[in-house]
Structure 1
């Protein structure tokens, strides 16, 4: 029965009873007697209780829909409002869920285009840094070397300092270019790229241990790039914000879940309750592109865990929206029984 009919019939029943009392032999004395007051109050109370129950039952699906709309987040896809209630309410909830499906698909498509353009821009900037700025600094370094052999002795120290500053700038330019475009990923593969990444952050006062399984299932180029970027962003956040001196970079095959799992863990101050910034949002966007799930939470004891769960099954969506759904922590159901790394317990 529709919500309209429920409310209409309830109101009609109340009005019918009131009309019957007016036309019937029942009368109210003047002044009103206590027994008559009790009957009137009891009837009114029954009518109000029944009306409240009908409205609560009929409007409960709308309240659930309101909560679902308030908590909807396209970076955490898959959550849908349950389709219940009268026909009108059920139709409204179905329309809302269909709208979410369309929005998630459109967002995944637009994110894929934006990130693809971003990677292209990274490659262009990296190439220009290497070819233009890098070569210019190399030429300056060579000129300073020739000048150093000709200047008087009292000026050689200043020229040497200029050489060191130029050499340091050249190394920094090369480092930035490598981060913008991971050439080692394209040339030597994911394992070598992750080892190089761990070594790079180890030189910045952070000890990074790496555990990389060698028997990973075949991964597409896009998936390898997402794994590398998530690891890069996770270690960057650790170095900048965590206040940690130790970190772990782990990549392994999850046999039971038929997938791959990346873990970046540190011993820092933990994620706390801070609002997610652009870095974590960017990682979630990348995870959605390959149908993966990203979770960021407290590690065992202290610190932060960044965990990327990737399913290698053919059922993953091409637009990057996972077809399996995810839990509140961002770990897909098929990974829950197989996500315990060594030392997690």
Structure 2
């Protein structure tokens, strides 16, 4: 039944009921109208309007649910759908909206995959250039300064040693940036070794007490999933160090029946009323890239918890 006929019949039912009551009820209208007749007619009109409003509310309820869903829909939180009940135009609208969400989520997933792949390729290129070009140039400068230190007068030796220390510090910073852009240890030694190095680096450079809890029997994961886990830990610890006012954090990896569960907790001030920034939305996009479940919330005792559940590698396929 179309929406037009649905509304028309609802109003027709109300009007027919009101007409039947007027025909068979012992009510008459005098000229001029008396007070009791006016009260009866007014009460009947109010009852008719209320009945019409209730019936229309029931009939148009699916459109209200669709409107509420449309105002809060977020493609980074997939799976939000409305149940399709009955037939007619409203059911067709709900079904079409659900199908549109399916297409948008699929297209968003494809575009995210291409963007993240291009981003990692660019990170790899920049890291390689930092390591090979800038790193080697600074190493050559450091060696030249050392060679000059053996030939210059003693009164210039202190200045040359200061220049050597500055160059050595710059070389260490370039190497650290290259490791953050593309963790070579992840490709060479695996996820656990890469996260161990990452947390150790954060403890050294930020003073944050980062604790690790890694299960020894983690299942094999796709390369993309390991990279997503690494990036989520990296972004989470960066947020903790910059915004959480925390003194400690915990990074845990545990085996689950479906794959691997990552959990990062801190003892900071929590999310509060702040909106999700680009860092958190970037983590959500990475989670969608590997079909992982991502959640972030403020814990009851304070602090923030980030959780990521990644499916394991299907060896049967």
| In structure 1, distance between residues paired with 2:261 and 2:81 | 26
Instruction: State the TM-score, normalizing by the size of structure 1.
Output: 0.84
* Structure-1 residue corresponding to 2:307: 307
Aligned-residue offset at 1:179: 0.7
Structure 1 runs not aligned, ≥5 long: 315-345
Deviates more, 1:86-95 or 1:162-171: 86-95
* Structure-2 residue corresponding to 1:277: 277
| Root mean square deviation of aligned Cα | 2.2
Aligned-residue offset at 1:264: 1.3
* Structure-2 residue corresponding to 1:223: 225
Contact 2:209 2:249 in 1 (8 A): yes
Deviates more, 1:297-306 or 1:59-68: 297-306
| Matched ranges for 1:104-183 at <5 A | 104-183=105-184
Mark the CA change 1:304 to 1:10 in structure 2 (over 3 Å): closer, same or farther. closer
| In structure 1, distance between residues paired with 2:58 and 2:201 | 60
Aligned-residue offset at 1:176: 0.3
| In structure 1, distance between residues paired with 2:20 and 2:251 | 78
Instruction: State the TM-score, normalizing by the size of structure 2.
Output: 0.91
Deviates more, 1:165-174 or 1:292-301: 292-301
Contact 1:3 1:86 in 2 (8 A): no
| In structure 1, distance between residues paired with 2:299 and 2:313 | 28
Partner SS state of residue 301, structure 1:
coil
| In structure 2, distance between residues paired with 1:68 and 1:117 | 33
Structure 2 runs not aligned, ≥5 long: none
What is the count of residue pairs matched by the alignment? 310
| Matched ranges for 1:39-50 at <5 A | 39-50=40-51
| In structure 1, distance between residues paired with 2:15 and 2:297 | 58
Contact 2:258 2:312 in 1 (8 A): yes
Aligned-residue offset at 1:86: 5.7
Partner SS state of residue 60, structure 2:
helix
* Structure-1 residue corresponding to 2:89: 88
